[in-house]
Amino acid sequence: MSGVAVITEACIGVKDRACVDVCPVQCIYEFNPTTNRLFSEQQAGSGVIENEHAPNPAAVEIFGDSILYVNLDECTSCTACYAPDVCPVGAIYSDDALPDGTAGIKYNKTDPNTGHDHRFFLQHSRDVFAD
C-alpha cells in the first residue's frame, strides 16, 4: 500500500512516542527486550497493550528498543503520524516520499539527517516483524 509510514534514524534515542498517540490503529510498536515482544499501546505509557508481535531477532537487534517500528501490514496510510509537527525530530515519512539521499529531495524540516539515504528503514520495518 502506498503512503504507509516509515520511521527513520532521527527517532533513535529520542522515542518520545508522540506518533503513538495519533495513530488510530495502534500499528506503531516498541520492542520490550525483557519479554522479547513488540507491543503497541493506544496511549503511549498507558501500560495497556493493544497488539503484540514476535520480533525477527536478527533485525530487531540492530536498533533494539532505541527506536519505534511501524508494522507496514497494519498501517492504513492515514497520514496522521507524518503530518507536520507530530514528530519533534521529523523522523517519519510516507514510503512514497522517503528521501534517498539524492540532491533536490525533500526532507522533513526538523530531520537532522538531511542528505542521508533513508530507504534502509523501509525494508527494516518489514524485517523486524516475524509474524
Contact residues for ligand SF4, defined by CB under 6 A:
5, 7, 11, 14-19, 22-23, 25, 27-28, 68, 70, 75-81, 87-89, 91-92
Q: Which is nearer to ligand SF4, 48 or 103 (CB)?
A: 48
Shortest distance, position 118 Cβ to ligand SF4, whole Å:
12
d(CA 131, CA 70): 13
d(CA 108, CA 28): 19
Q: Which is nearer to ligand SF4, 38 or 89 (CB)?
A: 89
Q: Which is nearer to ligand SF4, 68 or 104 (CB)?
A: 68
d(CA 98, CA 53): 25
Shortest distance, position 19 Cβ to ligand SF4, whole Å:
3
Q: What does the DSSP assignment read for 34-95?
A: TTTEEEEESSTTS--EEEEE-B-HHHHHHHGGGS-EE-TTT-----STTSTTSSTT--EEEG
Q: What is the chain's alpha carbon radius of gyration, rounded to the nearest angstrom?
A: 14
Q: Which is nearer to ligand SF4, 103 or 106 (CB)?
A: 106
Shortest distance, position 103 Cβ to ligand SF4, whole Å:
25
Shortest distance, position 12 Cβ to ligand SF4, whole Å:
8
